[in-house]
Structure 1
Amino acid sequence: MARPALKREVVDYIVSHHDLNMRRACRLMKQSRSVQYYRSIKDPKQALRGRMREIAKTRVRYGYRRIHVLLKREGWQLGKNQMYRLYSEEQLQLRSKLPRRRKMVVRRQAKIKPTKPNEAWSMDFVADQLANGMKFRTLTIVDVFSKEALAIEVGQRLRSDHVVATLNRLAAAGSSSISFCR
């Protein structure tokens, strides 16, 4: 079930964008109109929130408990539950665990951004099956700059010699400096 505050925003959106009246929009969202018209009189405690942000910025590793102790020393009157709620609303939470460093992280090379046709090609295999159950593969080679399909080779088995022959044929057809990207 959605929170009333979220439903209030949805009702406001419906009224402003879909030209419905408030009564109909509230009925559509199953929101009582008294809840829709209610305006909170609770103090937003902007000064306290600002001080919390300052402490969290200077003391980066302090959680809400330590910040609560510092605020109480400064004379602020608030309970730990209220402190936790404000801390969460300000999104000052710390990560509970540091991420593990993976030893086998592979660094990707930056993608080549071609400036003219035939500067970079991309190739991919696509496999599919006919209605009678016969499988086939296609090798597609595309120019990255112009998005033009340079070659589409179709066969039941496309081996490496087929790939090499297709690339050699395309390279001989008129492209001098070509780099491949995946």
Structure 2
Amino acid sequence: MTTRKRHSPEQVVRKLAQADRMLGEGKDIADVCRELQVSEQTYFRWRNQFGGLKADDAKRLKDLERENATLKRLLADAELEKAALKEIAPGKLLSPERRRAAVHHLITTMGVSERFACRVTGQNRTTQRHEPQAATPADPDAALRAWLREYAKTHPRWGFRRAYHDARGEGWTVNHKKIQRLWRDEGLRVPQRRRRKRLGTSTAPGLPKADAPNTVWAVDFQFDATTDGRPIKIVSIIDEHTRECLGGLVERSITADALADELDRVAAGRGYPVVLRSDNGPEFACAVMTDWAGEQVGLSFIPPGEPWRNGYVESFNSRVRDECLNINIFWSLAHARVVISDWKQEYNEHRRHSALGYQTPARYAAICTHRN
């Protein structure tokens, strides 16, 4: 009697990818399930759990031709909406006044209907046709608007909350919501002072050169997203001499503690590097990484706005983006982990590197005789 075989999530993702390729070659579901040695019920259950399919999606597959015809009819409207959005001035249309001006602009320049222009800008047609009191000669708030403009000119660092209390103190009968609305309508705002980015303190002298394995490790982050719009954060660790991808994480969020744990895991198998090179991101320029490095690892932070100073990992990230992230759609975090992990393994063991004499990074690391 044979026991029931259980598949890991990684095996399920790989089999679903194989099924997609077989379906693209013209095979039907029965042949695919026979080749994968699973039942059709298991296949659709996997699709529902790992492939992003819902319960009624299998039935909807039969209606694709009818839906495609509908999509073709909508394509013309979508292209027109796209052109209309490009025609509107950049920036969010947060107020009815800005939307009203955008609607008039679209009607005048593109000759579209008011209904279409209101739909593109998100303006209610009743609001569009309503004439605001501020645009009429008899604006009941004209005196208060003038007072607010003078108040903002006299006190440029004070906001609408302080203006509300001072207005009440001077006898204006008005609540804070109206002051905020008029303050916004007049374009009054307190300029925000941008916080300066934190600069990491390098503990490695000069510009370290990767003249031997385990001399310089480079680390950097990348971002992508799953089909549900949730972000994916990817960290890669590169040995600059052997070009090996030593490790990495694929998570929704990666903290400095998680990064330190991953560096310890990699170092447990090959030892700690002499220098760790990175940018000035908050995960690197923090107390956690300083404590992790201690006196055994030097930290080398590149100057802000100069990514070419960390060129090895930036080049690796461009390969990941071009050859993996841009050609795959991730259904889930597990799917992203499997695909990215497989790509990094192929990069280390099968992808020949021109800078290594067209040897793979793993092969070059095995025969490398350079020492610190």
Q: TM-score surpassing 0.5? A: no
**Structure 2 length normalisation: TM-score?**
0.24
Question: Normalized per residue, which structure has more strand?
Answer: 1
**Structure 1 length normalisation: TM-score?**
0.42
Question: Normalized per residue, which structure has more helix?
Answer: 2
